[in-house]
């Protein structure tokens, strides 16, 4: 016997009202490490998405989901079918998934939006969630006087250079990107002052009226309250497995141990 229309409506309403939380995570860096390490990381992330699926209203991926990502017109990097299937499932259940690109996975076209139903942002985003103002920013490019990075960012994101890069065979571009990623990581690992500039930037944004500033990038989990707002750094999923959750009133920084 099929449930009545009223019963189906109650179930649908109950499912919708139970989803009220907003989740944030960043810096998974899929593609970094050995094949086995990468597979374990992907499985860990899928288990986390399974866990939050029951009460998530929306999910924000705050950059560097991949250690390298470049979309050709008809080709995307190999792998991660299980993760993509999970993200599609979330979309089909009405859970909105937002992706703010990072400094490792900014070369995107329309794959994540067209195929997985995700909202992709190539710049920091401002969102109002349950009456609170959020600034969601990957966190790169905030170091004062880091002219070299700012120039490099403009070069790498210039349309003509993306076009030229796309003329190279994917196997070659992949190797080039992995070398570039290692070089970038060795360079950035020495910038111990980066966190201070990120905190100062967050303070400025809070003074400008934001209630919460959410960032990633430097892989160091942080939770800092100021008189009129809160700064959260999401850490990473290489070592920390940290994420933030907003329940409509406050943000909490947690560690996934599932």
**What is the tens place of the pLDDT at every residue in 171-180?**
776 676 666 6
Q: Name the average pLDDT for the chain.
A: 84
Integer Cα distance of 34 and 26 in angstroms: 20
Q: Which residues pair with 218 in a beta bridge?
A: none
- Helix segments in 134-193, DSSP class H: 147-157, 159-165, 170-188
Integer Cα distance of 68 and 78 in angstroms: 11
Classify residue 2 by its DSSP letter.
P
Q: Is the pLDDT of residue 11 over 60?
A: no
**pLDDT score of 1:** 44
Q: What is the pTM for the complete model shown? A: 0.82
And the tokens for 25?
């995570």
Integer Cα distance of 107 and 71 in angstroms: 6
3-state secondary structure (DSSP) of residue 92 = helix
**pLDDT score of 37:** 92
**pLDDT score of 227:** 96
**pLDDT score of 151:** 67
Integer Cα distance of 180 and 184 in angstroms: 6
Confirm if 133 and 209 have CB atoms less than 8 A apart. Answer: yes
- Alpha carbon 87 to chain centroid, angstroms: 13
């Amino acid at each position: 016997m099929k449930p009545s229309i009223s019963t189906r409506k109650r179930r649908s309403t109950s499912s919708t009202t139970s989803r009220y939380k907003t989740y944030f995570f960043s810096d998974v860096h899929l593609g970094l490490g050995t094949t086995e390490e990468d597979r374990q990381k992907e499985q860990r992330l899928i288990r986390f998405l399974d866990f939050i699926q029951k009460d998530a209203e929306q999910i924000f991926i705050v950059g560097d989901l991949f250690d390298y990502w470049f979309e050709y017109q008809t080709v995307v990097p190999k792998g991660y079918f299980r993760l993509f299937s999970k993200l599609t499932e979330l979309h089909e259940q009405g859970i909105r998934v937002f992706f703010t690109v990072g400094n490792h996975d900014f070369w995107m076209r329309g794959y994540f939006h067209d195929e997985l139903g995700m909202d992709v942002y190539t710049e920091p985003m401002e969102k109002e969630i349950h009456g609170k103002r959020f600034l969601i920013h990957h966190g790169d490019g905030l170091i004062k006087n880091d002219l070299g990075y700012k120039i490099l960012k403009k070069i790498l994101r210039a349309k003509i250079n993306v076009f030229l890069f796309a003329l190279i065979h994917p196997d070659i571009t992949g190797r080039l990107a992995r070398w570039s990623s290692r070089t970038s990581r060795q360079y950035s690992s020495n910038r111990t002052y980066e966190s201070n500039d990120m905190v100062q930037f967050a303070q400025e944004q809070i003074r400008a009226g934001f209630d919460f500033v959410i960032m990633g990038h430097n892989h160091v989990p942080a939770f800092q309250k100021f008189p009129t707002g809160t700064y959260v750094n999401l850490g990473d999923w290489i070592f920390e497995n940290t994420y933030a959750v907003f329940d409509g009133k406050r943000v909490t920084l947690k560690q996934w141990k599932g």
